[in-house]
Amino acid sequence: MTECDPVKISERIISLFPGNFPEGRRSSDPFQILISTVLSQRTRDENTFAASKALFSQYPDCDSLSDITTDDIKYLIRPAGMFNQKAKNIISISKIIKEKYGGVVPEKLEQLLELPGVGRKTANIVLFAGFGVPALAVDTHVHRISNRLGWIKTKNPEESEFELMKVLPENLWGPINVSMVDFGRNICRPQRPLCEKCEFTSCCDFFKM
């Protein structure tokens, strides 16, 4: 083992930033996790929380959300931004889950990816947070940091997901997403990263440039 081993660094990042999923996406209900994760797309955690809280206070489940129109919820989810498209997707998702899956969120990646507005990151978050299934959600933070540290050489988050699955053991797939997001926001930022506060500069290709 070397100091630059991806597994060791991942474990250290998780220990330094042992975050849970943001409040807006915390739930024991896979359906609420799914809908909150859709709301979280391209917005901040506090906006996701506000929108999720408002939405679930009136429409907490698949049944209630499948029998309404977008106008009924657009004002509730407005804090999350892109509320017209998100409202449309949320209602479509609810109807599909109710009619096709008997009101139960599917546990297979392929089925989740068929839902409107659900990409690989969202699906993997639902699998891990909602069902405890090993799944690696890769966003821009995970993609950026793993490339900076030289673990992989990829062009986009989807490529990074498949390459990181070869590098990291399954038990780290779920936890590393949230921890790397916090690490990426606080230390390894997209612009002007705080390298002076980072423990991993000796392993970082970006720092050596």
Catalytic residue positions, numbered: 121, 139
The C-alpha atoms of residue 113 and residue 110 are separated, in whole angstroms, by 5
The C-alpha atoms of residue 201 and residue 149 are separated, in whole angstroms, by 8
Q: Helices (DSSP H) in 22-133: which residue ranges? A: 30-39, 45-58, 62-66, 70-77, 83-100, 109-113, 120-125, 131
Cα 66 to Cα 69, 73, 88, 103, 169: the distances in Å are 8, 11, 11, 10, 38
Cα 85 to Cα 28, 38, 78, 181: the distances in Å are 26, 10, 11, 25
CA 167 to chain centre: 20
Q: Which residues contact 202 (CB under 8 A, 6 or more apart)?
A: 3, 4
